[in-house]
Structures are given as C-alpha cells and as structure tokens.
A and B are shown apart, each in its own frame.
Chain A
C-alpha cells in the first residue's frame, strides 16, 4: 500500500514522524530535511521525501481525487 497524498505531521519522536491522512495515521522516517509538527509531507516507502507547502495541499488532493 502506498499513499500519494500529502499527510500532516502530528508528532515527531527522534527521526520518526506520525502522519495523519484523515482516514488513517502512519509512521514515517525522516532521513534528511527539517520537519515540524503540522507540516504536510509526502511519504514513499515509509520515508518522508518532501514537504508540501500548506497552500498547495488542497490542489494536490483535488488532482488526485479527480484527474481526467
């Protein structure tokens, strides 16, 4: 299973973040980058690979829900 949608970091302990996707929460590891609680991020294979600026999150979700 993999989620291509941005999730919100709700907790960080050492290098493990807990990410809220609305319908579920998942853990992911921070390898590089500075992340804070409330940041939106993209995860691939349980690794945080990118931060998504909050103003871009809705557009991302819209595209993934609809597409053409």
Chain B
C-alpha cells in the first residue's frame, strides 16, 4: 500500500471534522473519501496542506524514528501510538473535546467479532463497537483491525 493511501485511510475520519470547520470544500472531502475507499494516491503536498496539524506532529515522530515523514512506519507510529496520547493530553483542539468524542477519535486495535452487511462489530478491552468496513472490505471474523471513529482502517 502506498504511504499516501495508508495515510488517508487513517486520516479519513478527521476529514469529516476538518470539513465541518470549512477548512476543506465538499468536493475536496469527496476526493479524500474516494482515495481512502478506492486506494487512490493523492499528492503528498495536498495531504500535508489539509492535515497540517497532523504533519506538525508526524515530523516529530519521523525525527524520533530517524525516518522520512512519509515512511509507513512513521505514519503507523503516529496514528497507532502518538495520536492517542495527544488526545489524552488534550493537545490543540482536543482540549475542548468532550470525552465521548475523544474516545471515538482514538485509534484502537480491535478484533472483528461479527459481520453484519457492511458493518463490523469489533471488540477491544471490554468495549464493543460497530464500524464500517468500507476501508477493509475483506475483513473476516477474528481479524485484528485498527479502528478510528466509525471506520475499520486496516487489517494488522
């Protein structure tokens, strides 16, 4: 998977919030959504501009790992590790976010328990949630997937 595709799959839920803030147009949002679902490569410059907040933090992770900002290891380390602690610490806009929103915004590793249409019922810890399978259409019961807001993102 190209790093631009990996990135937009993880960042798709954030796009909804960014659109709500009118930082991107409906058309730009549709481009991002389509790229995430159909594995399309969008220009790095475009993604860095739209998700400037994330890239400020991704640069720090890249430095720590001594790798390029667009290396898949860096992108995964950011979303699967860093992203959650940034939310817990209430950095940036998360300072104003209610707890339920913070919980949904965190990326979790979860097991697929059941499949219902295009929904996956997943479990992690003692939590059970339903997410869409649009980004991982071939997910099966017992697969471990990362989840972010209302989406399963990738199979681990």
B150 close to A47 (CB less than 8 A): yes
**Residue from the set B17, B96, B101, B118 with the largest chain A CB neighbour count within 10 Å:** B101
**Which chain B positions have C-beta within 8 A of A52?**
98, 100-101
Chain A: residues with Cβ within 8 Å of the partner, total of: 28
A56 close to B99 (CB less than 8 A): yes
Total A-B pairs, Cβ < 8 A = 77
Bound-complex Cα distance A16 to B57 (A) = 40
Q: Is B107 an interface residue (CB 8 A)?
A: no
B131 close to A49 (CB less than 8 A): yes
Known A63-B93, A64-B17, A67-B93: A49·B98 in contact at CB below 8 Å: no
Closest to B102 in A: A56
Contact with B along A42-68 (1 / 0, CB 8 A): 101101111111001101101111111
> Which residues, 1 to 52 on A, are CB-close (under 8 Å) to B?
1-2, 4-5, 31-33, 42, 44-45, 47-52
A44 close to B150 (CB less than 8 A): yes
**Which chain B positions have C-beta within 8 A of A33?**
130
Bound-complex Cα distance A37 to B21 (A) = 29
**Which chain A positions have C-beta within 8 A of B101?**
52, 56, 60, 63
* A58 CB, min distance to chain B CBs, angstroms: 9
* B81 CB, min distance to chain A CBs, angstroms: 23
A45 close to B132 (CB less than 8 A): yes
- Contact with B132, one of A47, A53, A56, A63 (Cβ below 8 angstroms): A47
Chain B residues with CB under 8 Å of chain A are 16-17, 19-21, 26, 92-93, 96-101, 103-104, 116, 118-119, 121, 128-132, 134, 149-151
